[in-house]
Amino acid sequence: MGHGKLRKFAENETFSCLLQPSAEDVLADGYFNLADHPVKGRWIEQMFGGHEGPIVLELGCGKGEYTLELARRNPDKNYIGVDIKGARLWRGAKTATEEGLRNVAFLRTRIEFITAFFGPEEVSEIWLTFSDPQLRASENKRLSSAMFLERYRTFLKPGGRIHLKTDSRFLFEYTRAVATVNGLPILAETTDLYSDGQGHGAALPVEVREVQTFYETMFLEMGLPITYLEFCPDHDGPYLNPRDPEDFDSAYWRTAEGPRRSFNHQ
């Protein structure tokens, strides 16, 4: 490991806005019986100094630039960026510390473990920004799959929102199919965020266009369209994955994805 990463990992230990739980503790009772972390249900008092306000998650936040900018624009809300890469989170946590942003926190963990950290109705919104579409892997690895929606609903408030912003048409269409087969309200959508006017459905939140991730700016420079989908995951009964190819033709959309996925931004 390079000296740069070692320095960042050491500095990560000093950031009060960065929580780095032990995976061994979370898995003490096994993968299917995750141990609750002490912060579960107590984020406001333990990580935000009692700053009341809705909690918004960005899952797979990378360096945290999206989390940070949303927090700057919306001081009445509390934002948590989640990622497994400590060297990436260092940048976000350092910036939040330097700017004195009290409504920002970061959590270093695998998203599969997310239920160990948030209590019932503790979270109001989730952002999935440029997640890996897992083109060849099991759909259960996609962050908008039925399996992950089951996890999210353990801590999302009724009427909570999930925002998907991605360069992957494959992941956009897959997520849209998940929402459709489960009867989930699609609140807003567009297959070309920057040339589609207001999109379809409700007016798009201003920050959807005005706030961009590092990779998003790269994709735009490459001429790639950015898609956006906002839906409410409220649902009775188990979530279903879309049938292939009746509900979602994975072979077609995998082919339609083209060469863009050759750029590995994960």
Helix axes 86-99, 3-12, angle to 10 degrees: 50
Q: Return the active site residues.
A: 132
Q: For residue 10, give every residue at least 6 positions away whose Cβ sits within 8 Å of its Cβ, in sequence order, or none.
A: none
Taking alpha carbons only, the member of 197, 185, 198 closest to residue 230 is 185
DSSP-assigned letter for residue 111:
G
Q: What is the Cα–Cα distance from 199 to 186, expressed in whole angstroms?
A: 12
- Closest by CA to 78, choosing from 121, 99, 114, 49, is 49
Place of tokens 């735009």: 220
CB atoms within 10 A of CB 227: 23
